Amino acid sequence: MKPFVIALDGPAAAGKGTLAKRLAAHFGFAHLDTGALYRAVGLAVLKAGGDPTDAAAATKAAQNLAPATLRDPALRSAAAGDASSKVAAIPGVRQALFDFQRRFAATAPGPDGRPCSGVVLDGRDIGTVICPDAPVKIFVTATPEARAQRRLKELQERGETAIYARVLEDIRARDARDAARADAPMKAADDAVHLDTSDLDIDQVFERAKEIVERTIVDQRRS
């Protein structure tokens, strides 16, 4: 049996990560934060003293990504976020990360190594490129201002000095870069459900997404 796939896409700080974790825990599914892969590549380039827009350096970093980088607390820093969307525009980087994501979606490895019955992937191109056949696709959005408030809080909780105006500017720049790139730009799949989280708290977002998943599971069993 192929794993049941939930594809969550959307712009920076829209709440995909938190939602993905909640859904995965609730349904007992495996979870892959695909943004962490791009953040890890960006961070690896920065740590080597390189430039994240350098295609050769970034592609090499993606091909040689060390699992330890994926656990680096600096992954969630503002600098890694900025570098991630620069390396994500490079086709060689996307290509190097493609197979890993596809394999994860096809095998849904659980924490104990045994496969789960389903998988949640969150990112920018899951519903369009990585898992175009996913039975559940949700495009999670929120206004740039709401997202900037959430990201500001996250960065401050990490102990970073951050100011709202700068965070909002960074979010806008990252949205523009992610949506404008030629290779796998951020966009909602035609068959994605749009979920605007600007005025919802995490419990409300989770309830709505859970209903969408449950409805799809029931429909699949009927057909």
Pair 87, 52: CB distance under 8 Å: yes
Q: Which residue has the CB atom at the shortest distance from ligand CDP?
A: 35
Minimum separation from the CB atom of position 196 to ligand CDP (A): 16
CA distance 156 to 106: 37
- How far is it, in rounded angstroms, from Cα 47 to Cα 45? 6
* Shortest spacing between CB 212 and ligand CDP, in angstroms: 20
Please say which residue, 57 or 88, places its beta carbon nearer to ligand CDP: 88
Q: 30 — alpha (psi -120 to 50), left (phi > 0) or beta? A: beta
Chain positions contacting ligand CDP, by CB under 6 A: 12-13, 17, 34-35, 38-39, 81, 84-85, 88, 123-126, 174, 178
Structure tokens at 14: 């829209």
Residue 156: CB partners within 8 Å, gap ≥ 6? Answer: 162
| Smallest distance from ligand CDP to CB 64, Å | 18
Q: What pairing do the DSSP bridges indicate for beta strands 136-141 and 30-33?
A: unpaired
CB of 218 to ligand CDP, least distance (A): 28
